[in-house]
Every structure is written in structure tokens, then in C-alpha cells.
Amino acid sequence: MIRVTAVHPSSIAAEIGLQPGTELVAVDGRELEDFLDWEFLTAEERFSLLVRQPDGEEIEFDIERPFEEPLGVTLEPPRVRRCANRCDFCFVDGLPQGLREGLYIRDDDYRLSFRYGHFVTMTNLKQWDIDRIIEYRLSPLYLSVHATDPVLRRYVLRNPLAPDIVPLMRHFADNGIRFHTQVVMSPGVNDGKVLERTLADLYAFGDAVGGCSVVPVGLTEYSKHHLVREPTANECRDAITTIDARAAIAQQERGVNWAYGADELYNRAGIELPPESAYGAFDQIENGVGAVRYLQRQVREDAGALRGWEGRRIGIVTGTAMAPLMPMVSETLLRESGATFEVIAVENTLFGRSVTCAGLLPGAAIREALMGRNDLDLALIPGEALNDDGLFMDSMAYRTLADAVPVEVRPSKHFSDAMQEPVAA
């Protein structure tokens, strides 16, 4: 059963009398569990719909509508599937106390993997879920493999019940499901020979695995440092050597790199990022894989259209990881827009200095960095540091920040998205 939270005016749902609070019970006799059932089972032009109205009355409708005309209901958000693991490097364990409740949820939900590209471990699947993924063709899925060796994977996930991932992936692959995969690399645990084997095993899946990225473990001040540590520069360099070896084979055999290192891996290794062409379709951009090269490309493509910025002074707020790389991007902006740019590297005061990415910057640290900066005409802040409700990790609202500092602030993911309109003279 799924509850309706809103009915759109002039929609089919409004016409047949659905209301906020109506429960959608079954389509063509099949009970509805969540939004996936709703979307897939109502994809036909004709179907029967059993509902329970807020007063308890059950009604069955025969729905016939033009193909793809939406029914016009908003559904209550799904109850997120919780994670069954306890990884030593879990980001949730690295959170300080007192943040908003939603941040402490360990989700591991294949529905969100399909819809939003969240990585899942698939350690909480029941047979019903497996059948459903195949029936609805939920593909591609984003899978945290970490290690294909089943014993080691259970150790990394701290889950003795985690299923052997290779046969499970094989079952999915045989039924047309594809994956993008990642390894979160924990030094001394799943790097070295283990990483070589993991990449080889995943590569052997052929088309069913679109690629594998290797992301170094990232810890905050609050993480379980007695159990896990971040890799050294040498360990990151070794991992890049392993990735390169696999990428060379993949280039020769498949014409793509297939194995990728996260930007952070190169950053820590002190090695220059691979060229833009190495990242193919940028399938794992959200995972920090190729993010800098993608940004460079985006800026190159958009910057020519920027007008009205001549002589302006723009601050680019970013994390300490991205700051040294930012000139690679801002040079193009400078040339095309005529503005001058200053990179403002901000340390993470919420999670500690070791957390260097822009997306986790708290509003308070940005506010501190921009106080007194009335010499700037505009400050661009990392758009990925805000959630859909306009809140930073420390729950400061974007508007609160904007009202507190003496410079106009705009969230931005690739500069040109925030530079279409010049600031007022």
C-alpha cells in the first residue's frame, strides 16, 4: 500500500476522486509496495486500480488513459532500506553528534541505486527483491563491491552474512542487469593483490560491468581511527599502477579505460589526473571520478556565452582538495568572462581538516571565510554542499549564509550555472 500525499488538479486522479490520504492498494490485483510498483504496474494504457479512501471505503477503478499521461498523484516518500553492514570507514560513524537526524541513516537501497545512482552493497536483498530487480529491469545498479573475495568482503563490510557477491552478480548479469562498481580502498585490507583480483573478477563479467572505480577511504575526525586508516601517498600510487594495468588491457580489448581512480586518489598520490578522454562517459562523476576533468569540459563549453563580467572580482569557495586544482578551471573563465577570480580554500571545521572535499563544507566555515569580503562582487559556493532543502551539513540554510556575509553568494556546480546573470552594478 502506498499513500497519496497530493493530487494534481485537472488530473485523472482528481477526476476519479483520489485525495490526499487515499491508499493505493493494488494494480491489476497485484499489491503495491512502493513507488517502483506504482510506476511499473501503471505503465500500461489500461489497468484496474484498487484504492482505499481516507474514510475506509474501498473502490476499484478501471483506468484507461492515453499512453504516458500521468495519473497526477504525489506519493509519500518510500521508507528507506537500511544497511545491514558496519564498515569501519562508514561515513555515518564519522559524523559528529547533533546533526540533523536524516544524516545518521545508513541506507542501502537498490531502488535509490536505480533511481539516483546511490551505491549499494546488496547484502540486504531477499529473494523477492532479487526477482523484482530482474522483473523491473532495474539497471544499471551502482554496486559497492570492495572485494570479490567473499571472506574479505564480509570483513570489509563487517557483515558475516554478506552473500558471495560474484554468483549474485552473475545471476543478475545473466538476466540482463548491468552494474557500475566501486571499491572503497582500505590500505592493508583490499588493496594490493586483493585489488588486482577484484578488478580482474569484475572485468571478467564483460558488458555487465560498465566499469570499476577505486576510491580511497576517507575519514573524519570522528571515524574509527583505531580500526581503519587513510592510505599513504605510496599506497595510492600503487593502486593507480594497478588501475592503469587494468585500464591498459581494457583499452586494448574494449576501447575504454574501464578501471578508474577517484580524483582524490590522484590527489593523495601527488599524480596528475588522467586526461578528459580517459573517463569515457563519466559514468561515476557523482563518485568523484573525473569530476575535475568534467568541470573543465563544462567550463570550456559554457564560458564563451558569459557576458557582462568584465572587471568583476569573483571568489570561488571550495574545499582544500580542489583548491590547488581550481586554476586549471578558472583560467578559462578568466579568459572568457574578463572577470578576475580568487580561489578561497576553506577548511572543514565540522569534520576536521582531513575532510577536504567541497561538498561536505559546513555553512559556518563558509560564512567565516566570507566575512569582511566586501572587496568581492560575487562569491560562488559549492552547490553540492547544499541538499535539496537548501541546507549545509551543519543545517545552516543557504539564505542564512547569504544574509550574513557582505557579498552576493550564489551556489554553483560548474560556474556558468551561476554566472548567466551578472551581479548588479
Q: Distance of alpha carbon 186 from its chain centroid, rounded?
A: 20
Total residues at the site for ligand SF4 (CB under 6 A)? 9
What's the rounded Cα separation, in Å, for the pair 267 and 261? 10
Q: Dig out the grid coordinates for 303 from the structure.
A: 564560458
Does 366 help bind ligand SF4 (rule: CB under 6 A)?
Answer: no
Q: How far is the CB of 217 from ligand SF4 (least distance, A)?
A: 10
Point out which residues pair with 185 in neighbouring strands: 216
Residue from 92, 161, 281, 305 binding ligand SF4 (CB under 6 A): 92
Q: Dig out the grid coordinates for 227 from the structure.
A: 580500526
Does 106 help bind ligand SF4 (rule: CB under 6 A)?
Answer: yes
Residue from 85, 182, 318, 348 binding ligand SF4 (CB under 6 A): 85
46-52/179-185 β-pairing:
unpaired
Helix 192-203 / helix 233-254 crossing angle, nearest 10 deg: 20
What's the rounded Cα separation, in Å, for the pair 415 and 316? 9
Q: How far is the CB of 265 from ligand SF4 (least distance, A)?
A: 18
Q: How far is the CB of 80 from ligand SF4 (least distance, A)?
A: 11
Piece of 28-36, 83-91, 290-298, 325-333 that binds ligand SF4 (CB under 6 A): 83-91
Q: How far is the CB of 108 from ligand SF4 (least distance, A)?
A: 6
Residue from 12, 13, 49, 83 binding ligand SF4 (CB under 6 A): 83
Q: How far is the CB of 196 from ligand SF4 (least distance, A)?
A: 23
109 versus 336: smaller Cβ distance to ligand SF4: 109
22 versus 113: smaller Cβ distance to ligand SF4: 113
What's the rounded Cα separation, in Å, for the pair 29 and 277? 50
Piece of 36-44, 85-93, 341-349, 350-358 that binds ligand SF4 (CB under 6 A): 85-93
Does 284 help bind ligand SF4 (rule: CB under 6 A)?
Answer: no
81 versus 246: smaller Cβ distance to ligand SF4: 81
**C-alpha R_g of the chain:** 24
> By C-alpha distance, which of 46, 45, 24 is closest to 35?
24
- Residue 60, judged by CB atoms within 10 A of its CB (0-12, 13-18, 19+), counts as exposed
Piece of 44-52, 78-86, 288-296, 308-316 that binds ligand SF4 (CB under 6 A): 78-86
Beta-carbon contacts of residue 55 (< 8 Å; ≥ 6 apart): none
Q: Dig out the grid coordinates for 345 from the structure.
A: 580554500
What's the rounded Cα separation, in Å, for the pair 103 and 80? 13
Question: Would you say 183 and 147 are in contact if contact means Cβ atoms under 8 Å apart?
Answer: yes
Does 86 help bind ligand SF4 (rule: CB under 6 A)?
Answer: yes
Helix (H) or strand (E) holding 2: strand 2-7
Piece of 13-21, 81-89, 317-325, 410-418 that binds ligand SF4 (CB under 6 A): 81-89
> By C-alpha distance, which of 211, 39, 48 is closest to 137?
39
Residue from 2, 7, 87, 385 binding ligand SF4 (CB under 6 A): 87
Q: How far is the CB of 107 from ligand SF4 (least distance, A)?
A: 7
Does 105 help bind ligand SF4 (rule: CB under 6 A)?
Answer: no
Footprint of ligand SF4 (CB under 6 A): 83, 85-87, 90, 92, 106, 108, 121
